[in-house]
């Protein structure tokens, strides 16, 4: 099967239904792995998240961000990046790409703030990063809607991980043993309307270039656009990953790259002004944008090591392991600490 690709982006659009209903698992698995190897991203149609649940989650996200700042600050993200929960005001968080030196992080942050606000949550019984909710009675349905959506995304994530294992010729359940506790993060993102000129001349950013830290990310975006993915053939050059109605964007994170010994790309991506903003009558202000990423992570108490078949210690085959085994928790904490 050679799936359709999104114009200009190289990213395949794949119907996930034959995997979910079992009618043609193999072909879907191969196509997803192929796109992950090529560009690290895929669009899935019929992904299993009902449209009404997507609409409900976006609606709740808009209601949350429309609250006055003093209400949102009732669920404040703690000062440390390693407790990635609760509300972060615009400019608070700034993604980095493997910059860990405190002075270098400060210099990077001073360049251009990421003008986005966010709310993050995880599973309820997490003692490493406990959830931070609004007080009882403030936006009564918010917590339940987030948690229901969290577990729905967890289920869909596991199905995609099944497909990836099958693509690698492994037992379909191979990755499931690394994803039993749901050490995942649901993030609601709001990019407020900003000056189109400031965005274009990079004095402000929406989200700067970064790779995701976890196994896979499920990303829902509204119809504004602006997501861009690094071209696998031309480092530093980006291609658009525009919204496709009904599709779920799925991208591989750093763990998938390490598991696959670099066969899969954990591709750098960013969010900029949507294409054609000025010509669409938004000369002064770029429209606001909402997105909902769900980061599936390996359980914090697991170790991520290259999977069978992706490496060989026979020197003649020239496929050594490129990565040392790493504790999932240590890796996530190291990268989270550098964004706050």
Ligand X SMILES: O=C(O)CCC(=O)C(=O)O
Contacts with ligand X, 225-264, as mask; x by CB under 6 A: --x-------------------------------------
Q: Is 207 in the site for ligand X (CB under 6 A)?
A: yes
Nearest residue (CB) to ligand X, 28 versus 44: 44
* Number of residue whose CB is nearest ligand X: 291
Contacts with ligand X, 87-126, as mask; x by CB under 6 A: ----------------------------------------
Q: Is 185 in the site for ligand X (CB under 6 A)?
A: no
Q: Are 332 and 326 in contact (CB under 8 A)?
A: no
Question: For residues 289-308, which are near ligand X according to CB under 6 A?
Answer: 291, 293
Q: Is 271 in the site for ligand X (CB under 6 A)?
A: yes
Q: How many residues interact with ligand X (rule CB under 6 A)?
A: 11
Which single residue is written with the structure tokens 């606001």?
288
189 binds, among Fe ion, ligand X, none (CB under 5 to 8 A by kind): ligand X
Nearest residue (CB) to Fe ion, 268 versus 307: 268
Q: Cα–Cα distance between 276 and 217 in angstroms, integer?
A: 27
Q: How far is the CB of 224 from ligand X (least distance, A)?
A: 9
Question: For residues 192-221, which are near Fe ion according to CB under 5 A?
Answer: 212
**SS3 assignment, position 97:** coil
Nearest residue (CB) to ligand X, 258 versus 269: 269
Residue 86 is classified by DSSP as E
| CA end-to-end span of the chain | 43
Residue 13 dihedral angles phi and psi, to the nearest 5°: -105, 120
- Give the interface segment with ligand X, choosing from 50-58, 219-227, 276-284, 327-335 (CB under 6 A): 219-227
Nearest residue (CB) to ligand X, 123 versus 269: 269
Q: Is 272 in the site for ligand X (CB under 6 A)?
A: no
What angle in degrees, to the nearest 10, is found between the helix axes of 142-167 and 51-65?
Answer: 130
Nearest residue (CB) to Fe ion, 97 versus 237: 97
β strands within the chain, DSSP E: 4-5, 12-15, 41-45, 86-88, 117-121, 185-191, 194-195, 207-210, 216-221, 227-230, 238-240, 248-252, 269-271, 285-286, 289-296, 303-304, 326-327
Q: Which two tokens stand for residue 243?
A: 């919204």
Contacts of 55 (CB under 8 A, 6+ apart): none
Q: How far is the CB of 217 from ligand X (least distance, A)?
A: 6
Q: Are 297 and 332 in contact (CB under 8 A)?
A: yes
Q: How far is the CB of 325 from ligand X (least distance, A)?
A: 25
Nearest residue (CB) to Fe ion, 113 versus 130: 113
Residue 205 is classified by DSSP as B
Residues forming a β-bridge with 296: 216
Question: Which residues make up the interface to ligand X (CB under 6 A)?
Answer: 187, 189, 207, 212, 219, 221, 227, 269, 271, 291, 293
Residues that bind Fe ion (CB under 5 A): 212
């Amino acid at each position: 099967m050679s799936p359709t690709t999104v114009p200009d982006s190289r990213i395949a659009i794949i119907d996930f239904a034959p995997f979910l209903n079992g009618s043609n698992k193999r072909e879907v698995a191969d196509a997803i792995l192929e796109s992950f190897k090529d560009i690290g991203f895929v669009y899935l149609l019929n992904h299993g998240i009902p449209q009404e649940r997507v609409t409900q989650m976006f609606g709740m996200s808009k209601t949350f961000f429309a609250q006055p700042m003093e209400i949102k600050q009732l669920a404040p993200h703690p000062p440390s990046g390693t407790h990635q929960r609760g509300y972060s005001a615009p400019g608070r968080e700034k993604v980095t790409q493997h910059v860990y030196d405190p002075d270098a992080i400060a210099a990077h942050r001073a360049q251009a703030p990421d003008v986005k606000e966010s709310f993050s949550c995880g599973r309820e019984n997490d003692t490493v990063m406990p959830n931070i909710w609004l007080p009882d009675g403030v936006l009564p349905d918010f917590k339940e809607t987030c948690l229901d959506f969290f577990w729905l995304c967890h289920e869909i994530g596991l199905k995609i991980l099944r497909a990836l294992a099958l693509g690698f010729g492994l037992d379909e359940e191979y990755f499931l043993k690394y994803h039993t506790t749901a050490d995942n993060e649901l993030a609601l993102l709001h990019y407020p309307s900003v000056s189109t000129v400031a965005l274009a001349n990079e004095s402000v950013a929406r989200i700067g270039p970064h790779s995701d830290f976890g196994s896979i990310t499920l990303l829902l975006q509204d119809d504004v656009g602006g997501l861009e993915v690094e071209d696998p053939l031309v480092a530093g050059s980006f291609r658009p990953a525009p919204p496709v109605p009904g599709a779920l964007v799925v991208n591989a994170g750093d763990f998938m790259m390490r598991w696959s010994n670099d066969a899969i790309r954990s591709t750098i991506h960013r969010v900029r002004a949507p294409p054609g903003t000025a010509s669409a009558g938004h000369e002064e202000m770029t429209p606001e944008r909402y997105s909902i990423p769900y980061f599936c992570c390996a359980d914090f108490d697991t170790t991520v090591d290259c999977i069978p078949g992706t490496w060989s210690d026979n020197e003649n085959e020239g496929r050594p392991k490129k990565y040392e085994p790493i504790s999932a928790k240590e890796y996530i904490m190291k990268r989270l600490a550098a964004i706050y």
